[in-house]
């Protein structure tokens, strides 16, 4: 607070202001629950702006688009951050989507990918010819998403999102059960995550 007042007296802005990690975390949680409350708080105490939070989030590694080694490493890291080594439970939920095609830039692979369809993300060499690519490749738009969450059986710990896979509208109970019973490739995740 003293540093903020000192800066205001000198006519200097809040650029490069150093926030303590715990204050930054509290402010971010407040922003997620109520942006209006964060704006009110910012009138009285120094807090990062909503734009600054978005910029900070954009520098974090993105959630993997497929089930891969990094998927499991993120879960292990999250459990290590919680200092939790006990039992966990894994659940899945099918969620209806507002279906749409999206172009996604993967900075690691330096390539555009088409997401929103069933199966793996589709590499797009020429984003300008997107409509033609969708028609020629005969891609199917996903109508639902299966989301796997890991739950730590302790109070006040949010579920950890493990993976998400797009589903077609024609998936029936039998095909979904195969995933849960480890009879198809994507569900290797269930066995590995519960072993962490």
* pLDDT per residue as tens digits for the range 67-89: 788 888 888 888 888 888 888 88
**DSSP structure string for 125-174:** S-GGGHHHHHHHHT--B--EEEEEEEE-SSTT-PPEEEEEEEE-TT--HH
Q: What percent of the chain has pLDDT over 90?
A: 1
Query: Residue 189: which of 69, 63, 96 has the closest Cα?
Result: 69
CA distance 1 to 22: 15
Domain locations in the chain as residue ranges: 2-58, 69-195
CA distance 157 to 151: 8
* pLDDT per residue as tens digits for the range 88-147: 888 888 888 788 888 887 777 788 888 888 877 888 888 777 778 777 877 788 888 888
CB 83 within 8 A of CB 95: no
193 has a pLDDT exceeding 50: no
CA distance 131 to 170: 23
- Is the pTM for the entire model greater than 0.85? no
194 has a pLDDT exceeding 70: no
Average pLDDT of span 54-72: 77
pLDDT of residue 83: 86
CA distance 178 to 187: 8
CA distance 190 to 186: 9
């Amino acid at each position: 607070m003293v540093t903020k007042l000192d800066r205001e007296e000198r006519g200097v802005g809040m650029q490069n202001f150093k926030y303590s990690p715990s204050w930054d975390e509290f402010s971010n949680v407040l922003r997620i629950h109520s942006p209006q409350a964060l704006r009110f708080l910012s009138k009285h105490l120094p807090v990062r702006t909503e734009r600054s939070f978005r910029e900070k989030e954009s520098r974090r590694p993105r959630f993997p688009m497929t089930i891969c080694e990094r998927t499991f490493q993120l879960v292990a890291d999250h459990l290590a951050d919680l200092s939790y080594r006990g039992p966990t439970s894994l659940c899945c939920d099918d969620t209806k989507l507002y279906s749409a095609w999206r172009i996604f830039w993967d900075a690691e692979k330096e390539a555009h990918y088409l997401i929103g369809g069933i199966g793996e993300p589709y590499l797009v060499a020429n984003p300008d010819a997107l409509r033609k690519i969708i028609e020629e490749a005969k891609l199917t738009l996903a109508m639902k998403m299966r989301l796997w969450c890991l739950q730590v059986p302790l109070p006040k710990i949010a579920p950890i999102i493990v993976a998400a896979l797009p589903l077609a509208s024609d998936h029936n109970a039998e095909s979904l059960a195969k995933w849960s019973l480890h009879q198809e490739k994507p569900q290797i995740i269930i066995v590995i995550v519960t072993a962490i």
